[in-house]
Structure 1
Amino acid sequence: MAFPREDAQAVLEEHRFPCDKCGADLRFDPERNLLTCDHCGNQQPIDDQITTAPVIRELDLQSALAQHLPDTEVEVARVVTCPNCAALIEFDGDTHADECPFCATPVVTDTGTHRRYKPKGVAPFEIRERDAHKAMTDWLGRLWFAPNGLRAYARKGRKMTGVYVPYWTFDANTRTSYHGQRGTVHESVRTVTVNGERRQKRTQHVKWQAVTGRVARLFDDVLVLASRGLPKAYTDALEPWDLSRLEPYRPEYLAGFQAEGYTVDLEQGFSEARDYMNRIIQRDVKFDIGGDRQRVTSMDTKLSDVTFKHILLPVWLAAYKYRGKTYRFVVNGQNGKVQGERPYSAWKIAFAVVLGLIAAAIIGYLSAQSQ
C-alpha cells in the first residue's frame, strides 16, 4: 500500500481563523469569497497571496509509491472515524461530539490522527447553504412517490453540512502498441421460396483482416474519488466538476466547513485511473483500426510522466433519519446539482396501483359497452 512513511516528520495541522474584532471563529463565505464572522458581522479578505500563489503542482507517482517524496509533502490531521460508514471526518478542536455528515450517526471525537499527502488544490464552495438546501427540497418535490413527511422534515430540518470531499487526479503520457482485426461487411442477396412465394434474402458476411498499429494519448486530470463515505454512484452523478476553478490549497477555504480524509489510498486510486485510461485507449484503438467492425487482440501500453495530486471538492450534504432509515442527499458545491436516495412512500405506491386498476376497469367496461 502506498501511504506516507510512518517515520516522516509530519506535524499535526490545525488551523483556526479568529475574528480580529470579537475572537469568534471566521468562516469562508462562498458568495463574497472572503472570511466572515457570524457573531459580529466582521469581514476579512483572504490573504492577498492568493492572487500570487504558484500553479498547482503535481507530484511524481513513482516517487510516491516508492515512498521517496520529501517529508514536506506529508501532514497529519486530527480525525474521527465514523463507526457506521467508516468515513474519516475532520472536526475543529472545540468540537467533542457531533453527527457524521455522511450517515447521521452520532460520533465522539477522539485524538486519532490521519497521515496523508497534503492537498494541492481546492475548489472553493460557490453556492450558499440556503441555495443548496432549496435545490435539494426542489429535487425532493419532483419525486412524486417520496413520503410527504420526509419532504416536510427535509424542508424544515437543520442546515446542510458543507464537506470537502477528497479526490485524486492523475496525469500520464501513454503510447500503446496493439494487435487486432479489421472487419469489412459484405452483403449477398439470394432468392428463397417461402410458402410458395419467392423472396430475396440479404445476408451479411464479415471479412476479417489482421492489423497492428500504435496510438498515443495524453491524460490530464483523471479524477478518482478518494472517499468511501458516500456511494460512488452519488458522487459520479454530481459530475462534471469544473477543475479549471481549482485554487492552490489554502486552509482559509475550509474555515467553517468540514473536510473528509481520504480512505482510498494512492495505489488504489491509480488502479482505478488505469482502468479508466484503458477503456479510453481501447476506444482509440478501435477508431484507429477502422473498418465496419473491430476486434482488439492485445494492447501493450507504456506510461511516462505519471503524476498525481490530492484535491478537495465541495459538497453540501444532508443525512436525515426518518422512520428508522437514513436518507442521504448531496449537492454539488459548484453548480447545485443534486443526487441522493430516492425515497418511496408505500401508501402512495398503493394508491397509484389502485388508481391504475380503477382506470383499467373503467376502460374495460367502456370497451365492453361499445361492443
Structure 2
Amino acid sequence: MIEPLLRTARCPYCDSPSVVDRPATTDRPRPQFAIGFTVDRARTAESIRSWLRGRWLAPSGLRRAAAERVQGIYLPAYLYSAAVEIEYSAKIGEAYERPQVDLSSKRLRRVREIEYRDLAGRHASYVSDTVVTASRGLPNAELEAIEPFDLAALVEYTPALLSGWIAEEPSLTREDCLQLAREEVRRRAVGTIEGFLPGDTHQSTSCHTSLRDESADLILLPVWVVALRYHPRRPLVRFVVNGQTGKAWGATPLSWPKLALIAAAIAGLAGLLVLVGRLL
C-alpha cells in the first residue's frame, strides 16, 4: 500500500523503500532539486549526544536513552527567492561626554549623553537562500533550528536519488509556503537594516518590506528524525538532525529535581546574604 503523503513505498518482502514517481499536481509539484545525505546513523547519534551535553537541565536519563526510532527522511521544502526593497526609519544615537559638577564632592566629572536624530532611507537586495518547510509534520521553526544547508550542493532531482530512503510529499500548499517565506524575509529585514545603521546606538527601527519577482522551487532536504524514550511513563522526545551537516535540535523536557535543586540553592544563598547583611 502506498501512503498518500510519501514519494516512496516499502517493499513487503525486503522492507526497503522504493520510489513512487507520482505525476505532478498543482498542490504537489515534482521536486526540482535535492541535497543528498552525507551524515550516517552513527554521526546522527553522536550529534544528539553532543547537543544533549550542553543541556544540563535535561533529565539525566535522556543522555542514556535508547533510540526507539531512527529514520532518514527527504523533507519537502521550498527554496524561495525574491527582489527585496526595504523602506526604513530609525532614531540614531550619537554618544558624547559633557562636564558636570558633582554637588556632593564639588568635583568635576564627565557624563555620557546620547543625542538622537531621525534617519530614513531605502535598501534594495536580492534573497535566494530562504528555505521553508512544506511539511506539516516538521514545523518551520524546527527546520530553522537545524539550518543552514549548503545550497551549493543542490542537484537536479531524479527518482534514483531517493533509492533506499523515505521521501515525504508536500503537505502544505505552495501558497502556504510562500507566506512562510515572506514572513521569514520580512523578519530578517529588521536585522539587515540594524546591521548597517550608523551611530553608537539606535532605537524605534521600523521597516516596510516590499517583495517582487518571487520564485519558489520545491526541493528535498535530508533530515534524520530520531525518537528517544527516557522513561516508560513519559512521551517520546523527538530530535531532528541535518542530514548534510549533522546539526541537531530537540525539544528537550526539563528535569524537575534539577530545577528544585537550583531553586533551593538560590533560596539558601539569598538567606545567607540576608544573614550576613544583618551581622554587618
TM-score, normalized by the shorter chain, greater than 0.5: yes
Kindly state the Cα deviation for residue 310 of structure 1 after the two structures are TM-superposed: 1.1
State the match for 1:225 in structure 2. 133
Task: Say if 1:226 and 1:264, in contact at 8 Å, map to a contact too.
Answer: yes
Q: Distance in 1 between matches of 2:251 and 2:160?
A: 32
Q: Distance in 1 between matches of 2:207 and 2:256?
A: 51
Kindly state the Cα deviation for residue 273 of structure 1 after the two structures are TM-superposed: 2.3
Kindly state the Cα deviation for residue 181 of structure 1 after the two structures are TM-superposed: 4.8
Q: Distance in 1 between matches of 2:112 and 2:53?
A: 53
State the match for 1:306 in structure 2. 214
State the match for 2:157 in structure 1. 249
Q: Deviations over 1:63-96 (max 9, x none)?
A: xxxxxxxxxxxxxxx545xxxxxxx55551656x
Match of 1:131, SS?
A: helix
Residue 116 in structure 1 maps to residue 28 in structure 2: yes
User: 1:311 and 1:205, CA in 2 relative to 1: closer, same or farther beyond 3 A?
Assistant: same
Match of 2:28, SS?
A: strand
Q: Distance in 2 between matches of 1:227 and 1:153?
A: 27
Count, aligned residues: 258
Q: Distance in 2 between matches of 1:126 and 1:178?
A: 41
Task: Say if 2:27 and 2:173, in contact at 8 Å, map to a contact too.
Answer: no
Pairing 1:206-355 to 2, within 5 Å after superposition: 206-209=115-118, 211-286=119-194, 290-294=198-202, 299=207, 301-321=209-229, 322-343=232-253
Match of 2:178, SS?
A: helix
Pairing 1:195-206 to 2, within 5 Å after superposition: 197-200=106-109, 202-206=111-115
Q: Distance in 2 between matches of 1:216 and 1:320?
A: 46
Structure with higher Rg: it is 1
Kindly state the Cα deviation for residue 219 of structure 1 after the two structures are TM-superposed: 0.8
Q: Pick from 71, 75, 79: which aligns with 1:161? A: 71
Q: Distance in 2 between matches of 1:140 and 1:300?
A: 40
Q: Distance in 2 between matches of 1:159 and 1:345?
A: 23
Task: Say if 2:132 and 2:143, in contact at 8 Å, map to a contact too.
Answer: no
Once structures 1 and 2 are overlaid, which stretch shifts more, 231-240 or 249-258? 231-240
Q: Distance in 2 between matches of 1:331 and 1:297?
A: 35
Q: Distance in 1 between matches of 2:48 and 2:247?
A: 9
RMSD, aligned α-carbons: 4.1
Where structure 2 has 5 or more consecutive residues not aligned to the other structure, the ranges are 16-24, 273-280
User: 1:117 and 1:296, CA in 2 relative to 1: closer, same or farther beyond 3 A?
Assistant: farther
Kindly state the Cα deviation for residue 214 of structure 1 after the two structures are TM-superposed: 2.7
Q: Deviations over 1:19-65 (max 9, x none)?
A: xxxxxxxxxxxxxxxxxxxxxxxxxxxxxxxxxxxxxxxxxxxxxxx
Between the two proteins, what is the percent identity of the paired residues? 31
User: 1:337 and 1:193, CA in 2 relative to 1: closer, same or farther beyond 3 A?
Assistant: same
Q: Distance in 1 between matches of 2:32 and 2:51?
A: 33
Q: Distance in 2 between matches of 1:163 and 1:131?
A: 16
Pairing 1:91-102 to 2, within 5 Å after superposition: 92=9, 94=11
Match of 2:144, SS?
A: helix
Residue 128 in structure 1 maps to residue 34 in structure 2: no
Where structure 1 has 5 or more consecutive residues not aligned to the other structure, the ranges are 1-13, 15-77, 81-87, 99-112, 364-371
State the match for 2:21 in structure 1. none
Q: Distance in 1 between matches of 2:192 and 2:99?
A: 34
